[in-house]
Structure 1
Amino acid sequence: MHALIIEDESLIAMAIEDALRGCGFTSFDVAVSAEEALTAAARTCPDLITADVELRPGCGITAVQSICTERPIPVLFITGRPGDVRMRMPGHPLIEKPFGTDDIVEAIKLTLDSRDG
């Protein structure tokens, strides 16, 4: 399975990638901007997207909305700005920063289970 990690902090992106590997993901794209996220998703359609809200430059919510217009892709927001997600993308799963690896693993399983169920 392939994941797109939209995160501009490299240590956080690596922690997310490690957690995703534990959930069976084998390939990854890491995008540090909304523009890079759109390019990566066009190149390899992800099975899951994790996204931060505030990017330098851009916005993870805007990137997700653009990427998911063609087909629904499960999205997990991992952000320090949960209010933005709740307001603009209600119903999407999110983890608030700071987080633990177990938080990510549990949320990913729930996100993927909701896609299948």
Structure 2
Amino acid sequence: MTDTRTLDLLVIEDEALVAMLVEDALTLHGHRVVGIADTVASALDLAEQDRPDLVVCDVKLADGDSGITAATALADRGVPCIFLSGNCPADGGHPLIIGCVAKPFHTGSLGAAVQAAYAIARGETPEQVPAALRLYRELPA
């Protein structure tokens, strides 16, 4: 497996500055951010318009929305997700919710986490799982 696939990513984050930092970190690793959403409704709309390969989602969103709701709805549509949050949930609740990266994050570890999560979602074993990515399920040995 190659470790440098360019992915189309949707970022779900309600804090504009954090969203820009996440977008910069992801594009630095050669990925394309297809949109930034701050509510469940906007996330679903953006995902419908330009289906992402993977979603990077905060847990607490604007208007009292839940990133867990957004991630679950997208996972139900076959789109894998990882959380990027200061409040990582204990469990993903869906097989396509791969894991969580805690804020604050390092640019390099976020790029590696996205690659690893995408590989896992495709049923592959990633070359590397960064320590920053807490997985919600064990990888096959």
Q: Which bracket does the TM-score occupy, shorter chain normalised?
A: 0.7 to 0.9
1:86 aligns with 2:94: no
Name whichever of 104-113 and 20-29 sits farther off: 20-29
Corresponding residue SS for 1:92: strand
TM-score, normalised to structure 1, is: 0.85
Q: Which has the higher contact order (CA 8 A, sep 6+)?
A: 1
Show the counterpart of 1:70: 77
Shift of 1:100: 1.6
Larger Rg: 2
1:41 aligns with 2:47: yes
Q: What is the rounded CA distance, in whole Å, between the counterparts of 1:6 and 1:89 in structure 2?
A: 18
Show the counterpart of 2:107: 101
Shift of 1:56: 1.6
Aligned residues: 114
1:20 aligns with 2:26: yes
Corresponding residue SS for 2:84: strand
Gaps of 5+ in 2: 1-6, 125-141
Q: What is the rounded CA distance, in whole Å, between the counterparts of 1:67 and 1:19 in structure 2?
A: 22
Asked if the contact 2:10–2:56 (Cα under 8 Å) also holds between the matched residues in 1, the reply is yes
The structure-2 alpha-carbon separation of the partners of 1:68 and 1:115, relative to structure 1 and needing over 3 Å to count, comes to closer
Higher helix share: 1
Show the counterpart of 1:113: 119
**Deviation digits for residues 25-65 of structure 1, max 9, x if unmatched?**
22420001111111111111111100000012201110111
1:60 aligns with 2:64: no
Percentage identity across paired residues of the two chains: 31
TM-score, normalised to structure 2, is: 0.72
